[in-house]
């Protein structure tokens, strides 16, 4: 798979495939985390659609999307842009000028094949080429938090009980050149 998969900028004609990927991954994430609030799920989906449209509307100035493509099928995506509203709220605007890596989605059928790590590496290299020296990422899903803690270590911020009792929201701040576990 490594040889034939390519990572590239998202294009307008990718929109339908990306919308399908968003829906598939969000549904799977809610299932894995035993979440059932359909309004939250719909809001998550709409946020991702908005981020994607923002990339197209601003030619990557607000959000910059990349896709992982295998045999002309989009199997993953990632974006970066200024830190989102939730990160700014939790950190009291300490990260307002920091770039956030987000919307790291890999189709469930392809998870566990290092596609997410390759997407992160690609974005970090793009950020570095654009003079960005550090970044943040956040997560409220428990299953993903375990993976991020393994990959990036202890979070920089922990908004305890943000989503309810024992449901924290974690934020990591890292330096571009810093090594992380792959």
Rounded Cα–Cα distance for residues 116 and 70 (Å): 14
Q: Is the pLDDT of residue 182 over 70?
A: no
Cβ neighbours of residue 16 closer than 8 Å, sequence gap 6 or more: none
Task: Kindly list the structural domains of the chain, giving each domain's residue range(s) and its CATH number in brackets, ordered by start.
Answer: 6-175 (3.40.630.30)
Give pLDDT, residue 163: 85
Give pLDDT, residue 37: 84
Could you report the per-residue pLDDT of 9-63, keeping only the tens digit for each? 999 999 999 999 999 999 998 888 888 888 989 998 999 999 999 999 999 999 9
Rounded Cα–Cα distance for residues 75 and 4 (Å): 12
Could you report the per-residue pLDDT of 130-180, keeping only the tens digit for each? 999 999 999 888 888 898 898 889 999 999 998 889 889 999 999 998 766
């Amino acid at each position: 798979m490594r040889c034939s998969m390519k990572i590239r900028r998202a294009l307008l004609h990718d929109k339908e495939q990306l919308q399908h990927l968003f829906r598939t991954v969000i549904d799977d994430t809610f299932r894995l985390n035993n979440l059932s609030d359909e309004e939250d799920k719909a809001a998550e989906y709409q946020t991702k659609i908005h981020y994607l449209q923002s990339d197209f509307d601003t030619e990557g100035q607000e959000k910059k999307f990349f896709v992982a493509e295998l045999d002309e099928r989009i199997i993953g995506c990632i974006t970066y842009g200024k830190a989102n509203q939730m990160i700014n709220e939790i950190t009291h605007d300490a990260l307002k000028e920091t770039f956030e890596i987000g919307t790291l989605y890999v189709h469930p059928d392809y998870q566990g094949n290092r596609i997410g790590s390759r997407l992160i590496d690609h974005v970090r290299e793009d950020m570095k080429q654009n003079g960005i020296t550090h970044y943040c990422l956040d997560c409220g899903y428990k299953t993903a938090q375990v993976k991020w803690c393994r990959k990036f270590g202890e979070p920089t911020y922990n908004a305890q009980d943000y989503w309810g009792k024992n449901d924290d929201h974690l934020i990591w701040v890292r330096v571009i050149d810093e090594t992380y576990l792959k």
